[in-house]
Structure 1
Amino acid sequence: MTKPADVPVLVTGGAGYIGSHAVLALKDAGRKVAVIDNLTTGFRFAIPDGVPLYEGDIEDQALLARIFAEQQIGAVMHFAGSIVVPESVEKPLFYYHNNTVKSRALIEAAVVAGVRHFIFSSTAATYGIPDVAAVTEDTPKVPINPYGWSKLMTEQMLADTSAAHPINHCALRYFNVAGADPLGRTGQSTAGATHLIKVAVEAALGKRESVSVFGTDFDTPDGTGVRDYIHVSDLAAAHVLALDALIAEPARSLTMNCGYGRGFSVMEVLDAVDRVTNRTIERVMAPRRAGDPASLISDPSRIRATLPWQPQHADLDTIIAHALQWERKLTELR
């Protein structure tokens, strides 16, 4: 039987936020790993020493063929793509090209090269506005924006490809990813990021004047939106375990939610940032954004039953502390 350590992995978007944490998780586990990233939103400094970085696009079939051959790639972890929901509404064709068309090219190149395993960075946005308290993988998929659709289309392409070719896949649907590597090796570095915890720690450090609270009239305990926040390092660990599961059972494909099954409101998150930083962030109340659900919380039963996944950082204050530590270091890097 193939051992996971014998399967070299290509990480697309490995210089970005979640991808760089996956690279660290793979490297820490003693795996062979290479990265392809066009560096439009990624950073060279996020790639650890000793990890080959190919600067280029996942739509470049010739480059992919060369990487697959040179690195003897047996698995792909696919993080490359665009992730800003409002931008996807403004630029739908860009999102369908960058997220879906390019994913199709990557999947085809993997099939041609004989790659056997494919892990896809999907999203809870595939569920749209669910009418259940906790979302399972079987909750209807009704995306309400091009971003969600672009990811769901890629999931469908993978399902159809796995049925037709000797490649299996795992689609991991993320809820709200936050935090940074506990050892301070990488974190969320994108300028102008829209993630609440990133924005809040920037405000706490004086990089922003305030934090906008979009919607105070939701049907939630304090009127602000409730989300399930997952530490990025716990998420990266889930990817490594998911790859092990694909290698162990080559005929099986998987779809799993990645969250803790616990929700926090915007106000609870901002209160926690105030608590961790011992400062008070200025909050500016703003109207709801179109398409924001009142609450989006995962049911993580499947991933816990399928993988030996034991989250190490499932604590809001810890997530914020790690994000804050990275934000301070980012100031030095720049």
Structure 2
Amino acid sequence: MKVLVTGGAGYIGSVVAQQLLAQGHEVTVLDNLSTGHQESVLTGVAWHQGDISEAAEVLDSSFDTIIHLAAKSLVAESMKHPERYWHGNVVASLGLIEAARAANVPRFIFSSTAAVYGNPVTDLISEDHPTAPINPYGASKLAIDHMLAAEAAAHGLAAVSLRYFNVGGASGSLREQHDPETHLIPNLLKVATGESPHAQLFGTDYPTADGTAVRDYIHIKDLARAHLLAMEWAKPGTHEIFNLGTGVGSSVREVLDTARTVTGRQIPVIEQPRRAGDPAVLVASGQKAAETLGWVPEYSLENIIADAWTALPDSD
């Protein structure tokens, strides 16, 4: 297939592009490098540096699929500057959907998020869990899910939303390089390499076993593979939602202990109050993705941290 990957110079996008190329697909990347990296654009892709608003200049009827990964994705920023998320996620994605319709692109795979569920009311979050986002980031992603459902019903688009939980790890040299870095694992590894003096532990009074937030961690290679399976599965006139999770949660303290074991370093942390907009527990049921797409995660939390550690240039 011929595939446009928006955000293909970013962490997730570059690994999705890597797997698409490995399976023989023709890949075009559109990325403005606001958070992506030129060196993550792989040899073999057609590269266009630009905003999502320029997609109409790239797309034509030869494209089979759009995998839409470009987004603003910081919960704390969305609480302080919600307007950035309505423009950068909702308005931009609407324009991309319209460009897809104009070019007769039949498939659309969307990077959604577990943040659409807000504070969960069940231990395992399935796709029929109520959506009640508690931050503008999650609300913006949910709005795009609704747009895709309407587009599929009205115009026959084959659309899939993949709701991510917590992603980590590396695929070869392709790793997390966010600035600022807000994700737990890379920040712990920065301390392990000596780049940072300590990590911050946000919230020790959650209603969990050890008082720290619990998340479902997925390896980047498992996550990327789900996009290819969704692309092959997508059906005209339908919008389907899949949660991508392992069904097993790990607390911040458990991640910290695993990182210390993998790296052999102390990794000091400073405890801080909770961050606004962060729920206590987010763990996904991956049953629907397993049964429908044949997607089953292959990597453990230890694999995730070990691969992320190995990918760092100064991890020795």
Q: Map residues 1-334 of structure 1 onto 2, 5 A cutoff.
A: 7-60=1-54, 64-69=55-60, 72-181=62-171, 184-246=172-234, 249-313=235-299, 315-328=300-313
- Structure 1 length as normaliser, TM-score? 0.92
User: What letter corresponds to residue 317 of structure 1 in structure 2?
Assistant: E
- Structure 2 length as normaliser, TM-score? 0.97
User: What letter corresponds to residue 110 of structure 1 in structure 2?
Assistant: A
Number of matched pairs: 316
User: What letter corresponds to residue 20 of structure 1 in structure 2?
Assistant: S
- Superposition deviation, residue 283 in structure 1: 1.2
User: What letter corresponds to residue 223 of structure 1 in structure 2?
Assistant: G
- Superposition deviation, residue 44 in structure 1: 1.2
Quick one: distance in 1 between partners of 2:307 and 2:39?
A: 18
The alignment-based identity, stated in percent, is: 45
SS in 2 for 1:309: coil
SS in 1 for 2:221: helix
- Superposition deviation, residue 208 in structure 1: 1.1
- Superposition deviation, residue 13 in structure 1: 0.3
User: What letter corresponds to residue 58 of structure 2 in structure 1?
Assistant: I
The list of structure 1 runs, each at least 4 consecutive aligned residues, that deviate by more than 4 angstroms after superposition, is none
> Deviations 1:109-149 (Å, cap 9, x if unpaired)?
00010000000000000001112111111111000111001
**Mapped contact 1:67–1:73 kept (Cα < 8 A):** no
Quick one: distance in 2 between partners of 1:105 and 1:292?
A: 30
Quick one: distance in 2 between partners of 1:91 and 1:145?
A: 11
Which segments of 5 or more consecutive residues in structure 2 lack a partner in the other structure? Answer: none
> Deviations 1:226-246 (Å, cap 9, x if unpaired)?
100000110000000000001
Quick one: distance in 2 between partners of 1:245 and 1:262?
A: 26
**Mapped contact 1:229–1:260 kept (Cα < 8 A):** yes
User: What letter corresponds to residue 19 of structure 1 in structure 2?
Assistant: G
User: What letter corresponds to residue 256 of structure 1 in structure 2?
Assistant: F
SS in 1 for 2:313: helix
SS in 1 for 2:291: helix
Quick one: distance in 2 between partners of 1:131 and 1:66?
A: 44
User: What letter corresponds to residue 13 of structure 1 in structure 2?
Assistant: G
- Superposition deviation, residue 209 in structure 1: 1.0
**Mapped contact 2:153–2:238 kept (Cα < 8 A):** no
User: What letter corresponds to residue 218 of structure 2 in structure 1?
Assistant: I
**Mapped contact 1:129–1:291 kept (Cα < 8 A):** no
Quick one: distance in 2 between partners of 1:298 and 1:286?
A: 26
SS in 1 for 2:191: helix
